[in-house]
A and B are shown apart, each in its own frame.
Chain A
């Protein structure tokens, strides 16, 4: 498996160029490069802001995280917004997973109608901008089905990501060899049992990386519901700016909070993948 292991004993060291490439690709070095690039970008931004005569007021930011006043410790607006974002994303992701599974199973079913419905759903959702979809859910479906802005947001995000997730499920399910279906059917399992006990457990390994990617995407695209004023992190940011006019500080802070959360999730995901890879 290991490439080095298959080399003949005493093989000479890899070339200098290759060593350089490997060094650059290694984790600490790539983190360093990443940080350097970020410093450059931020430096340029601050330089530009200084040239504009922007009045930095970073000292006013911490109070939006928490305050310790007469009534003791209190969480600020930003953590509350983050919690709202996470709740919204979690609900939407759960619903998206259900939609994704149903659509994937429909696409792989024997039902001609089922396959057609799934195809039409996918084409429509994948070819609409998320913002337009959100307007449709809020301004059109909302009044028709009596959805409030929160429910409309969750449904919209779930439908949008459900379409993407269904493709992940489909690819994962199709990655299981046909012989598995045959062996399971041959011992008398129903289609549902084959999915439940044989196919889905084996596709999890294929689906885990893209699914965590989708969690991150969901958190990022949940910011869009701020356009219909659903209270979450981005909306909080907008509100704070209209109160304080500190647009640079607040947007930098909000972006950093999103980044921190998504990095945490990615780290957790790679941990999970390692755990799953040990099995064979």
Chain B
């Protein structure tokens, strides 16, 4: 499985995703401060504890794949990073901004953090191009012409420039998810979060979305991806985070994670999903 065709494109100089912006602020080597820092984060839904003492530092440009059994808190964790969920204790710092009650902070962070959802969540009453430009126009206060140029640029980069004037319902699942990726990129974020971006797709459409994500990884974008696509993880991830029951059980580079995971839990999980 995975995105064999696109893997070679990683890091190429002529990479179509290179915007120049992604490398601002220095490379991970010269810039040791993490772009995302979770410290002792706990999160409750009523009496149920969904996250327990989660600690995670993510460097600029790093690609982190999060996996683990269903219900282990993967979605909850990445949704806390752009505060679609509020954590109860601990601290989360994104791009130097602490996430707290301050709504200004939250909106600033959200403009810097793009998110792609399992169910695409495109705006059905807007055309593809309008889906892409509404953020730049309303949130970034960009002019319409400029926003449309930006929208078309990113539509190009997810390989569906010809769909600009259609409505989301007229596209296939794979195309919709690529529009959703382009919509997030139109905010020119420094971080991209993906919550099981291919889980709702028919098998034959998974690769077209993964290809786009691999290309994006090649631009130096900081990415946090919840996925069970282990082929993608092997190719792209700098680190794999394994969660269970609301805790991070293991975090390791893919070579180590796939060949010799420390925890019994991770071994069992890998056996299960690699069986198929």
A-side residues, CB < 8 A to B, are 177, 179-180, 182-190, 193, 197-198, 201-202, 279-280
In the complex, the answer to whether B107 meets A280 with C-beta atoms within 8 Å is no
Give complex CA distance A182, B135 in Å: 13
Question: Which residues of chain A have C-beta atoms less than 8 A from B107's C-beta?
Answer: 188, 190
**A182 with B84: in contact, given A188-B111, A190-B107, A193-B138 (CB under 8 Å)?**
yes
Per-position binary interface string of chain B over residues 130-153, scored 1 when its CB falls under 8 Å from any chain A CB and 0 otherwise:
000011001100000000000000
Tell which of A179, A190, A201, A280 touches B119, judged by Cβ atoms closer than 8 Å.
A179
Give complex CA distance A279, B126 in Å: 10
Given contact pairs A183-B122, A201-B125, enumerate 19 new A-B contacts (beta carbons under 8 Å).
Answer: A177-B121, A180-B123, A182-B84, A183-B180, A185-B110, A186-B84, A186-B115, A186-B184, A187-B111, A187-B139, A187-B184, A187-B187, A188-B107, A188-B110, A189-B139, A197-B134, A202-B124, A279-B125, A280-B169
Tell which of B110, B122, B125, B138 touches A186, judged by Cβ atoms closer than 8 Å.
B110
Question: Which residues of chain A have C-beta atoms less than 8 A from B135's C-beta?
Answer: 187-189
Tell which of A177, A179, A186 touches B114, judged by Cβ atoms closer than 8 Å.
A186
Question: Which residues of chain A have C-beta atoms less than 8 A from B175's C-beta?
Answer: none
Interface centre among A187, A197, A279, by most B CB within 10 Å? A187
Give complex CA distance A185, B107 in Å: 8
Tell which of B103, B117, B183 touches A182, judged by Cβ atoms closer than 8 Å.
B117
In the complex, the answer to whether A188 meets B124 with C-beta atoms within 8 Å is no
In the complex, the answer to whether B121 meets A180 with C-beta atoms within 8 Å is yes
Question: Which residues of chain B have C-beta atoms less than 8 A from A185's C-beta?
Answer: 84, 110
- Looking at the assembled complex, report how far the CB atom of A13 sits from the nearest CB atom of chain B, in whole angstroms: 33
- Looking at the assembled complex, report how far the CB atom of A1 sits from the nearest CB atom of chain B, in whole angstroms: 13
In the complex, the answer to whether A189 meets B115 with C-beta atoms within 8 Å is no
Question: Which residues of chain B have C-beta atoms less than 8 A from A177's C-beta?
Answer: 121
- Looking at the assembled complex, report how far the CB atom of A190 sits from the nearest CB atom of chain B, in whole angstroms: 7
- Looking at the assembled complex, report how far the CB atom of B192 sits from the nearest CB atom of chain A, in whole angstroms: 11
Leading 10 A-B pairs by shortest Cβ distance: A183-B121, A187-B135, A179-B121, A188-B111, A188-B110, A186-B115, A188-B139, A188-B107, A201-B125, A202-B125
Question: Which residues of chain A have C-beta atoms less than 8 A from B84's C-beta?
Answer: 182, 185-186
Give complex CA distance A154, B3 in Å: 65
Interface residues of B in 180-208 (CB under 8 A from A): 180, 183-184, 187
Name the prevailing secondary structure of the A interface residues.
helix
Question: Which residues of chain B have C-beta atoms less than 8 A from A188's C-beta?
Answer: 107-108, 110-111, 135, 139, 187
- Looking at the assembled complex, report how far the CB atom of B26 sits from the nearest CB atom of chain A, in whole angstroms: 25
Give complex CA distance A186, B186 in Å: 12
Give complex CA distance A188, B82 in Å: 10
Question: Which residues of chain B have C-beta atoms less than 8 A from A186's C-beta?
Answer: 82, 84, 110, 113-115, 184
B contact residues, range: 20 to 34
Question: Which residues of chain A have C-beta atoms less than 8 A from B187's C-beta?
Answer: 187-188
Closest to A198 in B: B123
The answer to whether B269 has its CB under 8 Å from any CB of chain A is no
Give complex CA distance A179, B108 in Å: 21
Q: Can you list 17 residue pairs at the A/B interface with Cβ under 8 Å?
A: A180-B121, A180-B123, A182-B115, A182-B117, A182-B121, A183-B115, A185-B110, A186-B84, A186-B114, A186-B184, A187-B111, A187-B139, A187-B187, A188-B107, A188-B187, A189-B135, A193-B138
**A193 with B123: in contact, given A182-B117, A185-B110 (CB under 8 Å)?**
no
- Looking at the assembled complex, report how far the CB atom of B158 sits from the nearest CB atom of chain A, in whole angstroms: 16
Question: Which residues of chain A have C-beta atoms less than 8 A from B124's C-beta?
Answer: 202, 280
- Looking at the assembled complex, report how far the CB atom of B108 sits from the nearest CB atom of chain A, in whole angstroms: 8
- Looking at the assembled complex, report how far the CB atom of A130 sits from the nearest CB atom of chain B, in whole angstroms: 36
Closest to B118 in A: A179
Give complex CA distance A185, B122 in Å: 12
Question: Which residues of chain A have C-beta atoms less than 8 A from B258's C-beta?
Answer: none
Question: Which residues of chain B have C-beta atoms less than 8 A from A189's C-beta?
Answer: 135, 138-139
Per-position binary interface string of chain B over residues 78-116, scored 1 when its CB falls under 8 Å from any chain A CB and 0 otherwise:
000010100000000000000000010001101101110
Question: Which residues of chain B have C-beta atoms less than 8 A from A183's C-beta?
Answer: 115, 117, 121-123, 180, 183
Interface residues of B in 233-272 (CB under 8 A from A): none
Closest to B79 in A: A182
Question: Which residues of chain A have C-beta atoms less than 8 A from B123's C-beta?
Answer: 180, 183-184, 198, 202
- Looking at the assembled complex, report how far the CB atom of B239 sits from the nearest CB atom of chain A, in whole angstroms: 24
Give complex CA distance A180, B183 in Å: 13
Question: Which residues of chain A have C-beta atoms less than 8 A from B138's C-beta?
Answer: 189, 193, 197
Give complex CA distance A53, B49 in Å: 82
- Looking at the assembled complex, report how far the CB atom of A60 sits from the nearest CB atom of chain B, in whole angstroms: 55
Question: Which residues of chain B have C-beta atoms less than 8 A from A198's C-beta?
Answer: 123
